[in-house]
Amino acid sequence: AEKVKAALFNKAWQAYNKGKAEHLQGPFKTFCKQEKEWLDDFAHYLVLKEQNNGQAWFQWPDDFKLRNRQVLDEVAATHQQEVDKIKWLQFIFLRQWKALRAYCNDKGIKLFGDLPFYASYDSVDVWANPELFAIDDEGSLLGVAGVPPDGFSDDGQLWGMPVFNWDVLKEQHYSWWIERLRKNAQLFDMLRLDHFRAFADYWQVPAGETTAKKGEWHRGPRADFFRVIKKTMGDFPLVAEDLGEIDDPVYELRDEFKMPGMKVLHFAFGDDLPNSNYIPHNYTENYIVYTGTHDNNTTKGWFRTDAGDSIKQRINKYTGRLVTEDNVNDIFIRMALGSVAKIAIIPIQDLLELDETGRMNRPATIINNWSWRLKQDQLTGDVESRLAELTWLYNR
């Protein structure tokens, strides 16, 4: 698939260079000028990665790794065609995405984005802005991200991305983050902030550790960050991913800026069901409810393989029905749509009543993720009619 895609990209780029899309020349030049702040670094990074056999930037020769400006300019001049092609593909992507977004918006459909909190160590973001991250003058890691041990993992989760130097970011009025959010605002109508708790406090592990056990909590930017964001971006809709082990400062930060939090029905049926934050009778309006998220099993898969007998008994008691593999999707979808949460999100796998083979992602694993694909013939008229009826019935 990658070879086919590369061949098509080459064909399109060659056609453009032969003047077959003359109407794009002016807009492309404008794009390169408007997006210069990130686009130049992005193109140079990809060219250098190709020149260094795909190695991570921190394995490159020092002139490349430490961004010797004269050397970088020479490389860019020598490989001008490759640089221009990378920029042109970004131009075409954004042009097509904006057309798709306009089409969706015209149909009353909003696009909901998902913003990772951290940036990968081997990324143009870290290479081009080393002062913003916990790395030394040679580009080596000092502190990495993760979460501490909990009920799911005795070792915690060691993610490996460099944590932010929030003092430097604050001195720069969070300009890198602001530009990041502005770029996402070009793509989406609302945006989920993943790992929201790290804006309050984040877990930093010394580089070289093999588990997250020896990390420490550090104070995040908290309200100061969101005051600057609100001042510069206005009321662009942000959603707080407030799942997991959360404490009061996280909830206070979320609520101070009136960001919706998340409710996941799969989490609602533990021992604390009556008082659970995830059970529908405890919701207020400013939340987004999911049957399950991209990190969960499908609802049928969760019921079949993850939910034990005690959880199934609590579901029966709560719904007043005998819940089975055959009806669990319908019951959970109705539970979500019938809640007071202002937005209800139903994964397409749940609408199609797929089992665990339709799962999207398994957190803390690196294989067999994000490979599920929706096939065109799966969205039948019956599925559409059922969704339309439920949407009408619950005034969604």
| Model pLDDT for residues 230-253, shown as the tens digit of each residue | 999 999 999 999 998 899 999 999
pLDDT of residue 2: 86
Residues linked to residue 206 through DSSP beta bridges, in sequence order:
143
Please determine, for residue 332, whether its predicted confidence score (pLDDT) is greater than 90.
yes
pLDDT of residue 366: 78
Please choose, from the candidates 183, 158, 161, the residue with its C-alpha nearest in 3D space to the C-alpha of residue 37.
183
pLDDT of residue 26: 97
3-state secondary structure the chain: CHHHHHHHHHHHHHHHHCCCCHHHHHHHHHHHHHCHHHHHHHHHHHHHHHHCCCCCHHHCCHHHHCCCHHHHHHHHHHCHHHHHHHHHHHHHHHHHHHHHHHHHHHCCCCCEEEECCCCCCCCHHHHHCHHHECECCCCCECEEEEECCECCECCCEEEEEECECHHHHHHCCCHHHHHHHHHHHHHCCEEEECCHHHHCEEEEEECCCCCCCCCEEEECCHHHHHHHHHHHHCCCCEEECCCCCCCHHHHHHHHHCCCCEEEEHHHCCCCCHHHCCCCHHHCCCCEEEECCCCCCCCHHHHHHHHCCHHHHHHHHHHHCCCCCCCCHHHHHHHHHHCCCCCEEECCHHHHCCCCHHHCCCCCCCCCCCCCCCCCHHHCCHHHHHHHHHHHHHCCC
How many CB atoms neighbour CB 370 within 10 A? 8
Whether 201 is a known active-site residue: answer: no
| Model pLDDT for residues 261-284, shown as the tens digit of each residue | 999 999 999 999 999 999 999 999
The catalytic residue among 114, 194, 209, 356 is: 194
The catalytic residue among 63, 155, 295, 355 is: 295
Residues linked to residue 216 through DSSP beta bridges, in sequence order:
204
**Residue 62, token pair as written in the block:** 């020092």
Residue position matching structure tokens 């490159």: 60
pLDDT of residue 367: 87
pLDDT of residue 266: 98
pLDDT of residue 372: 96
Query: 111, 39 in Cβ contact below 8 A?
Result: no
pLDDT of residue 104: 98
Whether 125 is a known active-site residue: answer: no
Please determine, for residue 63, whether its predicted confidence score (pLDDT) is greater than 90.
yes
pLDDT of residue 219: 98
pLDDT of residue 132: 98
pLDDT of residue 365: 79
Please determine, for residue 151, whether its predicted confidence score (pLDDT) is greater than 80.
no
**Residue 304, token pair as written in the block:** 């079949």
> Model pTM?
0.94
Give ∠ CA 316-322-325 in degrees, rounded to 5: 105
Q: How far is CA 112 from CA 93, 224, 232, 244, 271, in A?
A: 18, 25, 21, 21, 33
**Residue 289, token pair as written in the block:** 């409810």
Angstrom distance (rounded) from CA 60 to CA 52: 7
Angstrom distance (rounded) from CA 22 to CA 250: 52
Please determine, for residue 174, whether its predicted confidence score (pLDDT) is greater than 90.
yes
pLDDT of residue 321: 97
Whether 194 is a known active-site residue: answer: yes
pLDDT of residue 350: 98
Angstrom distance (rounded) from CA 392 to CA 209: 53
| Model pLDDT for residues 340-396, shown as the tens digit of each residue | 999 999 999 999 999 999 999 998 777 889 999 999 999 999 999 999 999 999 999
Average pLDDT, the chain: 96
> What is the Cα Rg of the chain in Å?
24
Please determine, for residue 254, whether its predicted confidence score (pLDDT) is greater than 90.
yes
Angstrom distance (rounded) from CA 331 to CA 268: 14
pLDDT of residue 335: 98
Q: Can you say whether the dihedral through the CA atoms of 301, 284, 322, 352 is positive or negative?
A: negative
Task: Give the pLDDT mean for 162-176.
Answer: 98
| Model pLDDT for residues 83-131, shown as the tens digit of each residue | 999 999 999 999 999 999 999 999 999 999 999 999 999 999 999 999 9
Please determine, for residue 44, whether its predicted confidence score (pLDDT) is greater than 90.
yes
Q: Among 17-21, 24-28, 134-138, 300-304, where is mean pLDDT lowest?
A: 17-21
The catalytic residue among 125, 241, 350, 353 is: 241
Angstrom distance (rounded) from CA 388 to CA 396: 10
pLDDT band at 39 (very low <50, low <70, confident <90, very high): very high
Strands laid side by side in the 261-264 sheet: 261-264, 287-290, 343-345
pLDDT of residue 342: 97
